Amino acid sequence: MSQEIEFFPASTNVRGAPYPRVSADGRATLRLEAPQAREVCLHLAGGERTRGDGPFLMERNANGVWELMVTPKARGFHYYWFAVDRLVVNDPGSETFFGYGRQCSGIEVPEDEASAAYYQPQDVAHGEVRARWYYAQTTGTWRRALVYTPAGYDDGQERYPALYLQHGGGEDERGWTTQGRMQFIMDNAIAASRARPMLVVMDCGQVLTRRPGPGVPDLAAMEENAQLFGRVMIDDLIPMIDRVYRTVANREHRAMAGLSMGGMETLAVGLPNRDTFAYLGVFSGSPLSAIDRTTAYGGALSDGVAFNAAMRLLWLGTGTAEASSLRRTRAFSATLAEAGIRHAVFYSEGTDHEWLTWRRSLNEFITLLF
Amino acid sequence: MSQEIEFFPASTNVRGAPYPRVSADGRATLRLEAPQAREVCLHLAGGERTRGDGPFLMERNANGVWELMVTPKARGFHYYWFAVDRLVVNDPGSETFFGYGRQCSGIEVPEDEASAAYYQPQDVAHGEVRARWYYAQTTGTWRRALVYTPAGYDDGQERYPALYLQHGGGEDERGWTTQGRMQFIMDNAIAASRARPMLVVMDCGQVLTRRPGPGVPDLAAMEENAQLFGRVMIDDLIPMIDRVYRTVANREHRAMAGLSMGGMETLAVGLPNRDTFAYLGVFSGSPLSAIDRTTAYGGALSDGVAFNAAMRLLWLGTGTAEASSLRRTRAFSATLAEAGIRHAVFYSEGTDHEWLTWRRSLNEFITLLF
């Protein structure tokens, strides 16, 4: 006797929206009511297990509702949108998530309970995520930083170490809380004594508003942006955080990490500023091409002995299913090894260039800090 | 010699998006690239000064870009979206704002600098908006409250009064910070000593997830929802806030207010719970129809002398350009007067059922609290 697998509304839906629906075995059914449309395609980040990377043509029923059931290649969070006669359209049933430089639909495909436990809210003491506005001299603008404070922060006078945690390209400072579920990962790891209580500071790492054209990444703009964001961090953000919050304001109690573009920013900002950071985490963000280890990052990697004496942790993470990052991580690790630079590499089994890789990376990285 | 009025990207745009554009004289130009579309209409909340309430047909240029310049009836924040061959579509150039039970585009049409100063970030001490997750026994779910803490909260041991502040129908707990700019209104009013330092607690007042059908409001569902949300507030939210934050946990230091549906919730929850709240604010949320003052709200209004002895402030606000709210506010005020109930009425000149009315209402209401 076969058993029906139940479908239920995704946790990423707006309240009351019956679709998209997901199942415990990792399938998702998406729907869009568009009776006038001639063609509707689904664009799903990370693709689909049986039919490749899409876009996937949806099927129209007699009522003008377009539907498709897919099995995403990995569980966890996926950006998606529809192309209705080639026009990019979000799903009114979904919350929106800032990615690709705009608000996108998103769907959480559930893992089994045990695998997901570390990023779900549990019955443990909870921290807060605080929105803090500050004026940055570097840009001449008001900016919003999001600051995770651990449970108990308000109850004593203890001082805390701080992790500066960056989103990826096309995303912003909201990514780690909405897509990444950072606050639950931190709460659970701290409650289990897997990680020390710490602040986590998230700010928008895309400071240049020049919009890249389609096609290949604009490497010069990426570099200019990383340098500019580094100035915001060093001259504005970190001094503000150390003034407003009870931090231990020295390099031994300060870490930086980021995913994808944010990982590259971690290298660009963190390696030349070893007097500011003693811990660096690069999640799917190893360099895009081979580096000259004697000159790259202001020569930070040119003297392995000096580097190892100063840097307490240089940590690389990648999903095994993200070919480019896997290749780049291995190449960067080899370069570091040649330079005599001590570092760690973490492989997230079977996950792609998506948030499941980065939730797992964060969950491992924080256990090694401070 | 005529002077060109400059247009610039709206503050509500995603980073780098050139459109929508707004001008200092209150116009807005909206664009959508949709070469395949046969018809594109603009739906703009609050309508347009010269051509009524819309939807407004947009004009297609030779490149398949649809464009329209409009002059919204009022400045401030407006929800909007496009109907592309009748399909509801957000503007990829806009941030999204939760309203109408889904994520919508939004545009901030600037007021002159002096009029807008109270809701802009200024060079004053800033508070924080904290996301706080908690488990509600009433619903058996994890919920997220947003809590504004004033500047200086972390620096001492002072205890604070608290305002519970509700969004409108179709919105959620994010509305007051994103659409309402509550945090800047509070920062500025507190810095100018126009308001006492206080906490502001925002939670989602739509607890029932049953979705209303189109057409007339489902009054029974609204009432059921208000009662359910009242239980969340009284049994879960307020005890959590009083446990976690340094509040003065008594009725003389607790207020509730809300806009539209949130104003009706304020009456439904606040009037029968006079042992919990001593200040109530109703922004564009007076009762939908005549009430029986001897029986309504558990009989709260039946004894004017007793009511006046207990309630320190019952405050009604409305825009003068929102016909339904204006009529309902006047009718409710007349009923209160007949019952001998002391109350105040505030009129926001020329503003409609939109966020400018509610920003102004908040900015006045908080000066009368605690």
B101 lies in the same domain as B152: no
Question: Measured between beta carbons, which residues in chain A are less than 8 angstroms from residue B89?
Answer: 84, 87, 89-90
Same domain, B73 and B169: no
pLDDT at A52: 85
Residue B213's pLDDT band, with cuts at 50, 70 and 90, is: low
Range of the domain at B24: 7-110
Could you tell me how many CB contacts below 8 A there are between chain A and chain B? 117
Lowest mean pLDDT among A244-248, A255-259, B89-93, B152-156: B152-156
ipTM: 0.95
Interchain pair A37, B87: CB under 8 A: yes
Q: Is the CB of residue B74 less than 8 Å from the CB of residue B352? A: yes
- Is the per-residue pLDDT at B216 higher than 70? no
Domain-embedded: residue B2: no
> Quick check: A126 pLDDT over 50?
yes
Q: Cβ–Cβ of A142/B130 closer than 8 Å?
A: no
Which residue, chain included where needed, has tokens 């020049």?
A210
Task: Compute the average pLDDT of residues B156-179.
Answer: 97
Q: Confidence band (pLDDT; 50, 70, 90) for A36?
A: very high
Burial of residue B181, with CB atoms counted within 10 A of its CB: 0-12 exposed, 13-18 middle, 19 or more buried: buried
When CB atoms are compared, the residue of B35, B142, B211 closest to A121 is B142
Does residue B1 surpass a pLDDT of 60?
no
Residues of B in contact with A95 (CB under 8 A): 103
H and E: helices and strands count for chain A: 10, 19
Cβ atoms within 10 Å of A158's Cβ, excluding its own: 11
Q: Which of A81, A110, A139 is the last residue in one of the domains? A: A110
Which residues of chain A have a CB within 8 Å of the CB of B84? 84, 87, 89
| Whether residue A276 is found in the same domain as residue A134 | yes
Q: Is residue A342 part of a domain?
A: yes
Domain boundary among A88, A110, A132: A110
pLDDT in tens, A93-119: 999 999 999 999 999 999 999 999 999
Cis peptide before A18, with omega less than 30 degrees from 0? no
Q: Give residue B218's pLDDT.
A: 80
Does the beta carbon of A89 lie under 8 angstroms from any beta carbon of chain B?
yes
What does pLDDT average to over chain B?
A: 95
User: Among B110, B125, B149, where does a domain finish?
Assistant: B110
* Min distance B263 CA to chain A CA atoms (Å): 21
Please tell me whether residues B106 and B146 are part of one structural domain: no
Q: Given an 8 Å threshold on Cβ–Cβ distance, is A133 in contact with B121?
A: yes
Confidence of residue A358 (pLDDT cuts 50, 70, 90): very high
Whether residue A207 sits in one domain with residue A239: yes
How many helices (H) and strands (E) would you count in chain B?
Answer: 10, 19
Q: Could you say which of A87, A154, A246 has the minimum Cβ distance to residue B89? A: A87
Q: List B43's β-bridge partners, or say none.
A: B81
Cβ <8 Å between A89 and B87: yes
Q: Contact at 8 Å (CB) between A318 and A282?
A: no
Instruction: Report the pLDDT value the prediction gives residue A51, as an integer from 0 to 100.
Output: 85
Residue A176 sits in the same domain as residue A202 = yes
A283/A225 same-domain check: yes
Q: What is the largest CA-CA distance in chain A?
A: 70
Query: Best mutation site among B102, B105, B188, B261 for testing chain A: the one with the most A CBs within 10 Å?
Result: B102
β-strand partners of B287: none
Instruction: Give A-chain residues touching B98 at CB under 8 angstroms.
Output: 14
* Complete DSSP assignment for B222-290: HHHHHHHHHHIIIIIIHHHHHHHS-B--SGGGEEEEEETHHHHHIIIIITTTTTT-SEEEEES---SS-
For residue B48, what is the DSSP state?
A: B
> Cα–Cα distance between A220 and A212 in angstroms, integer?
11
- Do A55 and A163 lie in one domain? The reply is no
Name the β-bridge partners of A315: A281, A344
> Is B175 found in the same domain as B135?
yes
CB contact under 8 A, B133 and A211: no
In a domain, A2, yes or no: no
Mean local confidence (pLDDT), B137-145? 96
Structurally, chain B folds into a number of domains equal to 2
Q: Is residue B59 part of a domain?
A: yes
Phi/psi of residue B18, nearest 5 degrees: -75, -25
Residue A75: CATH number of its domain: 2.60.40.10
In the structure, what pLDDT confidence band is assigned to residue A212 with cuts at 50, 70 and 90?
Answer: low
Taking the Cβ of residue A39 and every Cβ of chain B, the question of whether any pair is shorter than 8 Å is answered with no
Count, residues in chain A: 370
B230 and B328 both lie in a single domain:
yes
Contact A90 B101 (CB under 8 A): no
B1 within some domain? no
Examine the domain organization and report whether A209 and A316 are in the same domain.
yes
Q: Are residues B225 and B335 in the same domain?
A: yes
CATH of the domain at A201: 3.40.50.1820
What band does A1 get if pLDDT is binned at 50, 70 and 90? very low
Contact B142 A131 (CB under 8 A): no
In terms of C-beta density within 10 A (0-12 exposed, 13-18 middle, 19 or more buried), how is residue A90 classed?
Answer: buried
Question: Other CB atoms closer than 10 Å to residue B154's CB: what's the count?
Answer: 14
The rounded distance, in Å, linking the Cα atoms of B304 and B117 is: 39
Query: Is it the case that residue A143 has pLDDT exceeding 90?
Result: yes
pLDDT tens track for B268-279? 999 999 999 999
Q: What's the pLDDT at B52?
A: 84
- Top pLDDT among A228 and B219 is at A228
Considering only the beta carbons, identify the residue of B102, B135, B177 that sits closest to A14: B102
Q: Is the predicted pLDDT of residue B209 greater than 80, yes or no?
A: no
Q: Which two tokens stand for residue B41?
A: 């209409």
CA distance A136 to A130: 18
B151 reaches A (C-beta below 8 A): no
Q: What is the mean pLDDT of chain A?
A: 95
Residues 93-122 of A with CB under 8 A from B: 93-96, 98, 101-103, 121
In chain B, which ranges are E strands? Answer: 7-9, 21-23, 28-33, 40-44, 56-57, 59-60, 65-70, 76-84, 87-89, 96-99, 102-109, 128-136, 141-149, 162-166, 199-202, 254-259, 279-283, 313-319, 344-348
pLDDT above 90 for A53: no
Q: Which two tokens stand for residue A109?
A: 């495909």
Which of B87, B104, B182 should we substitute to test contact with A (largest number of A Cβ atoms within 10 Å)? B87
Residues in A closer than 8 angstroms to B35, CB to CB, are 86
Q: What is the pLDDT of residue B212?
A: 56
Residue type, A66: W
- Dig out the tokens for A75 from the structure: 């569980």
The reply to whether A210 touches chain B by the CB within 8 Å rule is yes
Peptide bond into A20 cis (omega under 30): yes
Alpha-carbon torsion A95, A11, A126, A149, what sign?
negative
